[in-house]
A and B are shown apart, each in its own frame.
Chain A
Amino acid sequence: MDVFGRQAQEEGLSRIETDGKRLFVHYCVTCHGETGEGDGQNASTLAPAPPDFRASLPVHQPAYWKQIIEAGSVAVGRSPLCPPWGRTLPSDDITALVAYLGVLSRPAGQKPVEPAAKAPASP
């Protein structure tokens, strides 16, 4: 039995998705909620309320998500409540966030293919 490897593999996220998740938790969950359902701590104070990512993300392409992250929701003709992060976060961070949105946009149970799965689980 590999006790170390067993518990470390739980989430099945790739490195860049893990990075994106860390950023999402730091910058986004306060409004968008842990799972992107739009139920963050601050969501109730917002009008319009943040969308449920499970429904809203698949409608658009990652390039559209990226545009909102970089230039704010106002850049796509929505409310100004989601601020622009393009001058705050380096482009690698935004790429990582987009990658993690890709995870959130997948229906539950359809886990991402782990690129790391090609590598050994653990020594």
Chain B
Amino acid sequence: MRTPQRASVRFHLAFAVLGVTFLAIFSWVFLKEYLAEWRTTQAQFDQLQRRVKDPHALSLAAPLGEIQQIWLPDLNRVDRCPTCHLGIDDPAFVSAPEPYTTHPGAWLRTHAPDRFGCTSCHGGQGEATDFRNAAHQPIPYWSDPMRSPQLIEANCGACHRERRPRQAVWLEKGREVIANAGCIACHDIPGFSLEELRAPRLESVGYKVRPEWLRTWLADPKAYLAQARMPNFRLEPPEIDSLSAFLLAQRETAPLDSAGIDWSKADRDRGRTVFGEARCVTCHRLEGRGGTMGPELTTVGSKVGRAWLFSFIKDPTHDQPGTLMLRYRFTDDQIRDLVAYLTEDLIDPGAPQASSEVRYVEPALIERGREAFVRHGCYGCHRFSGMVDLGKIGPSLLGIGDRAIEAADFRNAAVVPSRPNWLFLKLRAPDTLADQSRMPTFNFSEPDAAAAVVALLSIRRADLPVSRVTDQPRPVRYEPQGTFGALVARYRCLSCHQTRGWGGELSTVPLDRIGSQLQHAYLVSYLQLPSAVRVSLEERMPWFRMTREEARTLADYLAGVFVDDSLERPVPLDADAARRGARLYQTLGCRGCHSLGGTGGYVGPDLSDSGRRLKPGWIEAWLSDPGRWKPGTLQPNYGLKPEEARSLTAYLMTLSTDRSGSTP
């Protein structure tokens, strides 16, 4: 009889304990919800808005006391940030403290919160309703922390895939760094697949370079050339030996014959004149000045052999079919003098001297060199006829912006373990992160590496719906054919100029409507002997020494095809209008930027010869709305009345430097 009684006591006891436990849990949940951080935040906001707003505005304000959230099903995001950031889209709170302050800038106008949410741009945990869990502050190894101001453009880049996104300077710079460094040689990178690599082909490099130079170059390219694009592969001396042997054995195409050249007649001074007249410095640097499209030439004499250089200048495509270098119409004597200048005057006195002894090279060494060439992925940049379909040596960078970070990634580096830090170190000093890293050292500057980190972080794993992505149209390769096409290929017009979005970017003048901008006679004379119209520019069009026939062919084609009919309109050019235009030229302050007869500014082109250079329809259209023709131009829109634009056009058409009255 006692057993059931005891059981009943135990049962009552358990029931009481359970009841108290449930009461505690219930109270705890209730209290936690009641004392939630966001409620306090909202209560403070309520006091604030009573001070900031008038009673009418207050009556229209959103009700408080509940969680505010933005749900974006297509992005799989739920952002509860507005629960605390209550004044974010209300200009009345512009000077309120965080978290109530108004969003700075005009960003919410273009990125409405109900369409984009908050975490799309800022990162962080959208579902959280307290400060810590939203990941406002960095938390070690956290996968998606809020972006700091320095990194926020990485999130711009997730949607904005253009190479040059507007108002995202870091992202833009980072994408440029990635493109210029040739990262796609080794990695598949979304958005960069059309990038062209500019490294030379090496099938005939044995004819090209001096052996002693090659060793220095392989050991550290930047030791020879500060602007070298090739990174440092941290090669050991035995690898340098074998790679040199392998490369010097590459002799597929012999240079063009220069056996008949009498080098004893070469004149270095004449060669220097040819160098200056041809404006080689537009693309090649010399002692710190000049362009960067081609390699620097300050010590080119210590790098390449005479016979190869003669052949290369005579026909650059003989050895390098895809080169950006044009084929000048030099005589053999001019090339001889030029080569003598380049190989004898432009040398590095400290460079290792050539050893005269002939050494037997073992085939096994060459074979080891080939293996090293493949092992380091040299074929990624230097397309090699014997090596196709080897695949990219590095991993794809799709999803690099989501890569999980582990302590082991950092080896001994004493840094905050975060994804940006890991990428930054990987770019700056890959060998500090892993013993066996095959990634070469690029010596990126700190700002360049930081910009590249921003661009890399924008490459996410999960792709966005198409409707969320903006991109630029892919340019279509433009390869003109026929006589015109042959001249464009010979003089490599598209290395510098663009048309239909295709071509180089050295020239700021796209060719699309050049035939409607410039007079035919001027084009013919300019192509034969380009004179500087923009005096402050260092990059000037080279003197190709093209024939009159060639210049005519090019000008005819440009004038017939590269036109815009809307510009081909008559402009009345009477003397009265020209006088009014001359006055406007003074009152508008055109002389601040343009030169006339040797005086005036040199921001814009010299206008002294406008009457023989430009077409009136173009001047009028340009003056009326410069930004329409060239976005970002330094020529502002003066809001000219049509009559004023016509008067200025009439005036500019009277300007000519030709005193003889004849046209060329």
Q: Which residues of A contact B (CB under 8 A)?
A: 1-5, 7-9, 14-16, 18-19, 22, 26-27, 30-31, 41-42, 45-46, 72, 74, 79-85, 87-88, 92, 115-116, 118-123
A87 proximity list for chain B (CB < 8 A): 636-639
Tell me if B416 and A2 are in contact (CB < 8 A). Answer: yes
B447 proximity list for chain A (CB < 8 A): 7
**CA distance in complex: A16, B106 (Å):** 10
- Give the segment of B199-207, B417-425, B568-576 that binds chain A: B417-425
- Give the segment of B74-82, B137-145, B508-516 that binds chain A: B137-145
Q: Which residue of B lies closest to A19 (CB)?
A: B167
A88 proximity list for chain B (CB < 8 A): 626-627, 636-637
B400-423 CB mask vs A (1 if < 8 Å, else 0) is 000000000000001110111101
Q: Is B64 an interface residue when CB atoms closer than 8 A count as contact? A: no
| Known A15-B105, A85-B636; contact A116-B453, beta-carbon cutoff 8 A | no
Q: Which residues of B contact A (CB under 8 A)?
A: 98, 104-106, 136-139, 142, 145-151, 167, 169, 414-416, 418-421, 423-425, 428, 446-447, 450, 453, 536, 587-589, 591-593, 595, 599-603, 626-627, 632, 634, 636-639
Our pick among B142, B150, B421, B603 for the contact of A42 (Cβ within 8 Å) is: B603
Within the complex, what minimum Cβ distance (angstroms) separates A23 from chain B? 10
Our pick among A74, A85, A121 for the contact of B148 (Cβ within 8 Å) is: A121
Within the complex, what minimum Cβ distance (angstroms) separates B13 from chain A? 52
Known: A3-B425, A123-B138. 17 other contacts (CB 8 A): A2-B416, A2-B421, A4-B421, A5-B148, A14-B104, A30-B603, A30-B634, A42-B603, A46-B601, A79-B589, A83-B589, A87-B637, A119-B148, A120-B137, A120-B146, A123-B419, A123-B420
Q: Which of B418, B428, B536 has the most CB of A within 10 A?
A: B418
Our pick among B106, B595, B626 for the contact of A92 (Cβ within 8 Å) is: B106
**CA distance in complex: A34, B136 (Å):** 36
A120 proximity list for chain B (CB < 8 A): 136-138, 145-146, 148
| Known A87-B638, A115-B104, A121-B148; contact A1-B601, beta-carbon cutoff 8 A | no
Our pick among B167, B414, B453, B602 for the contact of A1 (Cβ within 8 Å) is: B414
Our pick among A2, A18, A79 for the contact of B415 (Cβ within 8 Å) is: A2
A121 proximity list for chain B (CB < 8 A): 138, 148
Q: Which residue of A lies closest to B151 (CB)?
A: A122
Q: Which residue of B lies closest to A43 (CB)?
A: B601
Tell me if A22 and B150 are in contact (CB < 8 A). Answer: no
Tell me if A22 and B169 are in contact (CB < 8 A). Answer: yes
Q: Which residue of A lies closest to B107 (CB)?
A: A15
Tell me if A74 and B589 are in contact (CB < 8 A). Answer: yes
B148 proximity list for chain A (CB < 8 A): 5, 8, 116, 119-123
| Known A46-B592, A92-B106; contact A4-B603, beta-carbon cutoff 8 A | no
Tell me if A27 and B420 are in contact (CB < 8 A). Answer: no
Our pick among B142, B145, B418, B636 for the contact of A4 (Cβ within 8 Å) is: B418
B136 proximity list for chain A (CB < 8 A): 119-120
Our pick among A3, A16, A42 for the contact of B593 (Cβ within 8 Å) is: A42
**CA distance in complex: A2, B151 (Å):** 13
B420 proximity list for chain A (CB < 8 A): 4-5, 122-123
**CA distance in complex: A92, B110 (Å):** 12
A-B contact pairs, 12 of them (CB 8 A): A1-B415, A8-B150, A15-B105, A74-B589, A80-B587, A83-B592, A87-B638, A88-B626, A88-B627, A115-B104, A123-B145, A123-B419
A30 proximity list for chain B (CB < 8 A): 603, 634
**CA distance in complex: A12, B585 (Å):** 42
Within the complex, what minimum Cβ distance (angstroms) separates A52 from chain B? 18
Q: Which of B98, B139, B150 has the most CB of A within 10 A?
A: B150
A14 proximity list for chain B (CB < 8 A): 104
Tell me if B98 and A118 are in contact (CB < 8 A). Answer: yes
